[in-house]
Structure 1
Amino acid sequence: MTDLFTLDAEVRTDLGKGASRRLRHANKVPAILYGEGKEPVSLTLAHNKVFRAQEEEAFYSHVLTLNIGGEAVECLIKDMQRHPYKPVIMHMDFMRIDATHAVHTNVPVHFINEEAAAKKGGTVAHHINEIAVTCLPGDLPEFIEVDCAELEVGQTLHLSDVKLPKGVTSDELAKGESHDQAVVTLNAPKGASDDAEAAEEEATEE
């Protein structure tokens, strides 16, 4: 799968909507590379290689390598425009990275042991599917695991409950406790809360 994260790119000088349209007809993807204080560079990539690579979840949070005229440039994918209904990638934005500079990006969440939680009689509800993080490129995880095994009915795990890999910090938590987002909840079965309230009322009347 590693070769999926290395893409060949060519510098393009023919810019504009018409040029981009011609590229797409030739099964090419127009793109731009920016960041690290350098001038943006307009690029062209082969659509079939890009399309295959982007089917891997890790593509969106993995350090990618662009081969541009013999030079290997490490970067992250920052934006991807797709055709509204065709399986076509319209445009891509790449951001240069430096191994010594921290990056800000979103990493997908993988929920594990959901079945164990559901056996307790509740339903698992996801509140987020990715976490905004800051770390050095070498510490960037492909995904972050959230273990639902210990969830009790009615309990919610927040960002502060998630164990992040070494060297990785949450952008939201860095803003303060008020940004401690809910991640996953084990909801009580539908009607269970009503039953509990009714039982409580009966006990009070007695």
Structure 2
Amino acid sequence: MSKQVSLSAEPRTELGKGPTGRLRRTGRVPAIVYGYEVEPTALHVDALELYHALHTEAGRNVMIRLELAGDTTLVFARDLQIHPVRQEVVHVDFLAVDRNAQISVEIPVHLENEDETVDDDGILNQVLHTVPIAVKPLDVPNYLGLDVTGMAIGDVKRVSDLTLPDGAEFEIDPERTVVTINAPMSEEALEALEADAGVEADEPELVDAEDADATEGESEADGDAPADGDNDES
């Protein structure tokens, strides 16, 4: 089950692009908390502490004990806004939850014993990598394991083959396929598939040396990249 992680927060007294930009430059991440028994509140958290909280085995499904103004609230991180270049979190919503009520979460599916499938040249094909379930916050699993021992060509394992925590429910058709073992495709079948898709093995176009030098010079002249800018929001 997910381990709870503590995260300290401070209220935000100023809103707008200017104040949020200044917060980010000091290593803070603007955020908001809302949900169960919580008035929507603007706040900010330490960027490094948030990074560590979101990089446990539970990933973004980690349960966070958000500490704000002497109160502790159970929350999940939702609607993370990521900087397109630096890949840093620039804003996050925290959803407060009732520990006694089910919530909807996407849980990763981990295949187990992949080396123990039948040696018949079959190709393991994982169709679903996550599965949505309804579960109480304290029972959220880090992942759902699926044992593929003994699977051979033509075998299928479905959502119903996954084991849920007590009281949890699937929010997806239990007959959906999670993993199959497919027969290898012959060279003739691959060529026929490419032909149906209109794929042709064209000869590469030859370019003489003078044309190549001219093209390279044009590329270097136009090679300046636009400056990176912050993607601020309130």
TM-score, normalisation: structure 1: 0.82
User: 2:134 maps to which residue?
Assistant: 134
* 1:112-167 Cα shifts (integer Å, max 9, x gaps): 11121263421212222211110112221111111111322122222122222222
Q: 144-153 or 51-60, which moves further after superposition?
A: 51-60
Structure 2 unaligned residues grouped into runs of 5+: 190-234
The structure-2 alpha-carbon separation of the partners of 1:118 and 1:71, relative to structure 1 and needing over 3 Å to count, comes to farther
Distance 2:168 2:3 in 1: 22
Q: 13-22 or 102-111, which moves further after superposition?
A: 13-22
Identity %: 30
Distance 1:183 1:138 in 2: 25
Distance 2:146 2:119 in 1: 17
The structure-2 alpha-carbon separation of the partners of 1:119 and 1:165, relative to structure 1 and needing over 3 Å to count, comes to farther
The answer to whether the Cα contact below 8 Å between 1:107 and 1:144 also exists between their aligned partners in 2 is: yes
SS of residue paired to 2:24: helix
The structure-2 alpha-carbon separation of the partners of 1:189 and 1:31, relative to structure 1 and needing over 3 Å to count, comes to same
The answer to whether the Cα contact below 8 Å between 1:104 and 1:133 also exists between their aligned partners in 2 is: yes
CA apart distance, 1:92: 0.9
- Could you say which structure has the larger radius of gyration? 2
Structure 1 unaligned residues grouped into runs of 5+: 195-206
SS of residue paired to 1:48: helix
* Structure (1 or 2) with the greater strand fraction: 1
The residue type paired with residue 183 of structure 2 is: A
Distance 1:13 1:120 in 2: 64
User: 2:119 maps to which residue?
Assistant: 119
Give the CA RMSD over aligned residues: 2.3
* 1:173-198 Cα shifts (integer Å, max 9, x gaps): 3xxx6xx322112121222996xxxx
Structure 1 segments (4+ residues) deviating >4 Å: none
CA apart distance, 1:18: 2.5
SS of residue paired to 2:39: strand
Distance 1:147 1:20 in 2: 47
The answer to whether the Cα contact below 8 Å between 1:66 and 1:74 also exists between their aligned partners in 2 is: yes
What aligned pairs does 1:36-185 form with structure 2 within 5 A after superposition?
36=36, 38-117=38-117, 119-173=119-173, 180-185=175-180
The answer to whether the Cα contact below 8 Å between 1:123 and 1:189 also exists between their aligned partners in 2 is: yes
